[in-house]
Chains A and B, each alone.
Chain A
Amino acid sequence: MSMRLFVSRDAGAVAVGADEVALALEQAAAKRGVAVEIVRTGSRGMYWLEPLVEVATPQGRIAFGPVTETDVPSLLDALAGNTPHLLRLGATDEIPWLKRQTRLTFARCGVVDPRSLDDYRAHGGYKGLLRALSLGSDAILTEVTASGLRGRGGAGFPTGIKWKTVAQAKADRKFIVCNADEGDSGTFADRMIMEGDPFLVIEGMTTAGITVGATKGYIYIRSEYPHAVEAMNAAIKAAKGGGYLGDKIGGSTYSFDLEVRVGAGAYVCGEETSLLESLEGRRGIVRAKPPLPAHHGLFGKPTVINNVLSFAAIPFILAEGAKAYADFGMGRSRGTMPIQLAGNVRYGGLYETAFGVTLGELVDDIGGGTFTGRPVRAVQVGGPLGAYFPRALFDTPFDYEAFAARDGLIGHGGIVVFDDSVDMRRQARFAMEFCAVESCGKCTPCRIGSTRGVETIEKIINGERVSENLALVEDLCNTMKFGSLCALGGFTPYPVLSALKHFREDFVPAPTTLQAAE
Chain B
Amino acid sequence: MTAVYEPCYEPWNETRGAEIIAEHARQEGATLVILHALQEAFGYVPEAAIPMVAQALNLSRAEVHGVFTFYHDFRHKPAGRHVLKLCRAEACQAAGGDALAARAEARLGVSLGNTTADDRVTLEPIYCLGLCATAPSAMLDGRLVGRLDEKRLDALVAEAQR
Contacts and interface: CB of A to CB of B under 8 A. Distances in A.
Interface of A: 11-12, 14-16, 20, 47-48, 50, 182-188, 190-191, 223-226, 261-267, 278-284, 299, 340-345, 348-350, 371, 380, 384, 414, 416-419, 422, 427, 430, 434, 438, 440
Interface residues of B, number: 42
Contact of B2 (A20, A278, A422): A20
A16 B134 CA distance: 8
A261 B126 CA distance: 20
Nearest to B89: A185
B93 interface: yes
Given A224-B130, A226-B142, A348-B132, A266 B70 contact: yes
Interface in B20-57: 28-33, 35-36, 57
A114 to B, nearest CB: 16
A184 to B, nearest CB: 7
A343 B132 contact: yes
Given A185-B91, A223-B73, A416-B90, A11 B128 contact: no
B128 to A, nearest CB: 5
Contacts, number: 151
Interface in B121-151: 126-135, 137, 142, 144-147
Contacts of B135: 342-344, 348
Contact of A282 (B31, B36, B95, B96): B31
A287 to B, nearest CB: 15
Interface of B: 2, 28-33, 35-36, 57, 63, 66-67, 70-74, 89-96, 126-135, 137, 142, 144-147
Nearest to A43: B133
B133 A430 contact: no
12 contacts: A11-B130, A188-B130, A225-B130, A266-B70, A282-B63, A341-B133, A343-B91, A344-B135, A348-B133, A417-B94, A427-B90, A430-B93
B4 to A, nearest CB: 15
B30 A281 contact: yes
A186 B132 contact: yes
A125 B33 CA distance: 31
Given A184-B128, A341-B133, A279 B29 contact: yes
A414 B126 CA distance: 18
Contacts of A438: 127
